[in-house]
Chains A and B, each alone.
Chain A
Amino acid sequence: NAGVTQTPKFQVLKTGQSMTLQCAQDMNHEYMSWYRQDPGMGLRLIHYSVGAGITDQGEVPNGYNVSRSTTEDFPLRLLSAAPSQTSVYFCASSTVTGPSTGANVLTFGAGSRLTVL
């Protein structure tokens, strides 16, 4: 059982370049999300999805796009990278079934470290 798989683990981009961070989970989780982790700021939610075809913005969505065509995959796209997007990115998933979905636990990937020069 692989859990949540993120690729690539490391990436260096030049300002203005585009790229996609991949996230895949094999747990049949409906909920998937992307966070960025910056020193002294903890984890901040970028985008999330509660199922295929459904996405919504989190705290810091600007500069990022997402789509959810399948239950398993939730890619994060940077259309024109900026140095401010240098960060460690985490994908996380959980179930959303049941009346108290807030109690659901997030399963995290190992992270993708992105540097924008």
Chain B
Amino acid sequence: AQSVTQLGSHVSVSEGALVLLRCNYSSSVPPYLFWYVQYPNQGLQLLLKYTSAATLVKGINGFEAEFKKSETSFHLTKPSAHMSDAAEYFCAVTKNTGNQFYFGTGTSLTVIP
């Protein structure tokens, strides 16, 4: 079975500081990995996805994530946090058929002015 683990249900950073949200996956085959963001009272929207083309993936709003097979990790980073980054972030994994996505429990990011 595939799953993802997000370490830290709540992360607080100061405006301008580095954002690091952690995601580890378990999979018996190379997976497809995603980060989604959810703003208050909205549905989820895609930040970025890993499809084996490159280990460092760049997404929207300055976010990026690096796929590390040896660590089974796909951590999300942003060099400088902005107030508008405050949201809930979900890591997700699926396999080749794409019929079942498995989401992590989410990390709520707070940006302190």
Contact = CB atoms under 8 A, between A and B. Distances in A.
Main secondary structure of the interface of B (DSSP, over half): loop
B90 A43 contact: yes
B42 interface: yes
Interface residues of A, number: 30
Interface residues of B, number: 28
Interface of B: 6, 9, 31-32, 34, 36, 41-46, 49, 51, 90, 94-106
Interface of A: 4, 31, 33, 35, 40-45, 48, 50, 56, 58-59, 90, 92, 94, 96, 100-106, 108-111
The 9 nearest A-B residue pairs measured at CB: A108-B43, A101-B98, A102-B98, A43-B103, A42-B105, A102-B32, A103-B51, A42-B103, A102-B94
Given A45-B100, A56-B99, A110-B43, 20 more contacts: A31-B98, A40-B105, A43-B90, A45-B102, A50-B99, A58-B100, A59-B100, A90-B44, A92-B43, A94-B98, A100-B51, A101-B96, A101-B97, A102-B94, A102-B97, A106-B44, A109-B43, A110-B41, A110-B42, A111-B43
